[in-house]
Amino acid sequence: MTVIVVGAGVIGASVAEALARRGIQVTVLDMRAPGRGASQASAGLLTPFIEGRIDAALLGLCTRGLTLWDEFISRIRERSGHPVEYARTGTLEVALSDEEAARLADMRAFLIERSVESQWIVGADVARFEPAVSPSATVGLFIPNQGFVAVPPLVRALAQAARLQGARFESPVEVVRIEPRAGRVDLYADGRQLTADVAVVAAGTWSGRVRVAGVPSFPVRPMRGQLLQLRWTGSQLPSRPVWGTRSYTVPWQPDMLLVGATLEDVGFDERTTVAGVHDLLDGVGELLPGAWQASLVEVRVGLRPATSDLLPIVGPLRDAPRVVVATGHYRNGILLAPLTADIVARQVVDGVSDPAIEITTPDRFRKGGSYETFHDRR
């Protein structure tokens, strides 16, 4: 069996590795080098109980995804031979006002109801627990099961593991059209035609620009996120991800801190902006006062692929079952990469439809002969 994967971000690379490991002949095509889209601007947070709590279906996917990470990262390190930083240090979310404290109390009740382990920290104990946090913090909520991963090394390791198992990566290649045929799919890119048994569309924000004959374009909208990398000096670097209302932070030893992230509905604009940097610096300075002494190393930007219901699009197309979609992961692409790869690989290789596809199917957006737009469900 031959499979062409369109997209070489963390989702596409994870799918390629999962398929190649099962003996499938895989080619990965992307406009850029692996991981150079939204993946390179990700802080790598693995936080289902922060990101997923807005929706029960999303929370179910995210918590299931987290359970796969220990085995996933161990396999990728071993098969690629590349080190990838990964830690389950837990995350600390703090409140700097009474309003934020009330919101965190609701979150604590949410976790207790679901038997999720957490620790409630009050007053001066917050600063004792995490000395880098502002002394203005009134309460903190520590969730020990969450963590983070270094995303650029992860994508490099995924690509290498896939290559070592026979996968090929080609860039820059822009796939513009896919035409399902009897028993195959034809893909058109840069004036040439390629043929495979199955195509997997994992092009993130650009998935909507890959036209599948006879099928409406996928309702994926770009949401810009700007991320700062700071070099920490002087005071103690936080020992775990710290989350506030205006920003979140992820520490990288020995002296780096990632600060994220803006959320901007600006179309396909990948510029970094003074306004975005200003907002993130203000937010992290309020959360971690030592950040005002840090130096700004880099500003990264990526376009997150969002859907109207904030759930990913994963599964085969009803009208073109040889085209499988894996996109729309929004802020959870890193967390859901192992689960998405497993769902796609079992669908393609074994013909097994995972129960999750009932909620992630691309056909959930169908309205007559077209898909809903991003704004139809807002």
The yes-or-no verdict on residue 377 having pLDDT over 70 is: no
Helix (H) or strand (E) holding 111: helix 98-113
Q: What pLDDT score does 52 carry?
A: 61
- 181's tokens: 């045929």
State the SS3 of 48-105.
HHHHHHHCHHHHHHHHHHHHCHHHHHHHHHHHHCCCCCEECCCEEEEECCHHHHHHHH
- Domains of the chain by residue range: 2-79+151-220+308-377, 91-144, 221-306
Average of per-residue pLDDT across 176-182: 95
- Helices 10-21 + 151-164 axis angle, to 10: 30
- pLDDT, one tens digit per residue, over 338-367 is 999 999 999 999 999 999 999 999 999 876
Q: What pLDDT score does 216 carry?
A: 87
- pLDDT, one tens digit per residue, over 29-43 is 999 999 999 999 999
β-bridge pairing 91-95 and 119-122: unpaired
For residues 365 and 220, the answer to whether their CB atoms sit within 8 Å is: no
The yes-or-no verdict on residue 372 having pLDDT over 60 is: no
Q: List, in order, residues 6 or more apart from 322 with CB less than 8 Å away.
A: 180, 184, 185, 197, 198, 199, 316
Q: List, in order, residues 6 or more apart from 65 with CB less than 8 Å away.
A: 48, 332, 335, 336, 337, 338, 339
The yes-or-no verdict on residue 279 having pLDDT over 80 is: yes
> pLDDT-derived band of residue 150, with 50, 70 and 90 as boundaries?
very high
Q: What pLDDT score does 366 carry?
A: 77
**277 vs 261: CA distance, rounded Å:** 9
Q: What pLDDT score does 54 carry?
A: 66
Average of per-residue pLDDT across 282-293: 96
Q: What pLDDT score does 63 carry?
A: 95
For residues 314 and 343, the answer to whether their CB atoms sit within 8 Å is: yes
The yes-or-no verdict on residue 121 having pLDDT over 60 is: yes
> pLDDT-derived band of residue 295, with 50, 70 and 90 as boundaries?
very high
Looking at 3.20.20.140, 3.30.9.10, 3.30.565.10, 2.60.110.10, the CATH number of the domain 221-306 comes to 3.30.9.10
Q: What pLDDT score does 56 carry?
A: 87
**94 vs 45: CA distance, rounded Å:** 16
- Helices 151-164 + 69-80 axis angle, to 10: 60
Q: DSSP assignment of 226-260, as one string?
A: EEEEEE--SSPPPSS-EE-SS-EEEEETTTEEEEE
The yes-or-no verdict on residue 277 having pLDDT over 70 is: yes
Q: What pLDDT score does 369 carry?
A: 42
What percent of the chain clears pLDDT 70, i.e. is strictly above it?
96
> pLDDT-derived band of residue 374, with 50, 70 and 90 as boundaries?
very low
User: Shortest CA distance to 20 belongs to which of 232, 189, 163, 155?
Assistant: 163
Q: What's the CATH architecture for 2-79+151-220+308-377?
A: 3-Layer(bba) Sandwich (3.50)
- pLDDT, one tens digit per residue, over 199-237 is 999 999 999 999 999 998 889 999 999 999 999 997 789
